[in-house]
Amino acid sequence: MSKHQSLAGLVVAVTGGGQGIGRAMALRLAEEGAKLAIADINGGAAQTVCDELRQRDVEAIAITVDVTRQADCERMVASVVEAYGRIDMMIANAGVIQVKQYLDIGEEDWDKVFAVNTKGVFLTTQAAARQMRKQTPIAEGRPKGKIVTLSSIAGRYGAGPMAPVIPHYRASKAAVISITQSAAYTFAPDITVNAICPGLVETDMWKLIDQQWTAIENWESGQAWKQRVSAVPLGRPQTADDVAGLAAFLASKDSDYMTGQSLNIEGGLTMS
């Protein structure tokens, strides 16, 4: 792994870091010189990414965490501090999705999506901010810490033909943007808090979306994915590495004067 060292020594924790976007962000930040804490409810997946990083001479630890539990989030932060002495950046990436028709969504469906996507983000940012406020700045003239949340363009706009089958997901991601803004006001000037809003990222999550959506609509497998990607002006699906690049910018000094923002990265699917 070629280290550019622009983030040399930065301590970063990533929830949901065992796969998909979380893994890609961890690998990119490690490439830039950061030390990583890979947190995931799937401890085995977190350890696999951790081992992958260590094989590339990156300092990394794995933590099993359920972000819907406050005690787990506090233990996660404590584990990072025990290992590295501080936490410079928390990426609240853990999330779930379900594709289901509006009138078929039950209380358990709603509660599960909100527990991870909204409550989990709140508890993660809360635990991270408590630690960050106590520590010295990353460097002179810089914040004491940075928090990045993962929302979605689905939480910002109408979602088009998907709106009828992901209302609980859309609402949970809109709430993430609201939490991000509240946290940015609360913790300024010590901590910056920004949200990333990806679009159609080619991950296992979108495979699940395609599987559930095509079943509802009686389409052929893959049709939902092809239909959505065909609307992207840049002409290709988004990769997890695309999102990771934005995370690297938010980790860098270049974004120190940015807080409370929700940044779209979606190939022009929604323009603002």
Q: Does a structural domain hold residue 218?
A: no
What local confidence, expressed as pLDDT, does residue 206 receive?
66
What local confidence, expressed as pLDDT, does residue 221 receive?
76
Q: Does a structural domain hold residue 22?
A: yes
Structure tokens at 94: 């853990």
189 cis-preceded (ω within 30 degrees of 0): yes
Q: What pLDDT, in 10s, does the model give residues 107-150?
A: 999 999 999 999 999 999 999 999 999 999 999 999 999 999 99
**50: burial class by Cβ within 10 Å (0-12, 13-18, 19+)?**
buried
The pTM score is 0.93
Domain that holds residue 152: 11-199+239-265
Asked if residue 72 lies in contact with residue 49, where contact means CB atoms within 8 angstroms, the answer is no
Residue 84 known to be catalytic:
no
Pairing verdict, β 191-198 and 262-265: parallel
What local confidence, expressed as pLDDT, does residue 272 receive?
79
Q: Does a structural domain hold residue 208?
A: no
Q: Does a structural domain hold residue 234?
A: no
Q: Does a structural domain hold residue 228?
A: no
Radius of gyration of the chain (CA): 18
Query: Nearest to residue 102, comparing CAs of 165, 173, 174, 171?
Result: 165
Taking the C-alpha atoms of residue 169 and residue 110, their distance in angstroms, rounded to an integer, is 8
What local confidence, expressed as pLDDT, does residue 61 receive?
98
What local confidence, expressed as pLDDT, does residue 1 receive?
45
> Residue 28 belongs to a domain with what CATH number?
3.40.50.720
Q: Does a structural domain hold residue 56?
A: yes
Taking the C-alpha atoms of residue 251 and residue 33, their distance in angstroms, rounded to an integer, is 11
At 24 the three-state DSSP class reads helix
Query: Nearest to residue 18, comparing CAs of 41, 34, 1?
Result: 41
Q: Does a structural domain hold residue 245?
A: yes
Q: Does a structural domain hold residue 78?
A: yes
What local confidence, expressed as pLDDT, does residue 199 receive?
85
Residue of 84, 102, 157, 169 marked catalytic: 169
DSSP string, 83-144: HHS---EEEE---------GGG--HHHHHHHHIIIIIHHHHHHHHHHHHHHHSPPSSTTS-S
Q: Which residues of the chain have pLDDT under 50?
A: 1-2
Number of domains in the chain: 1
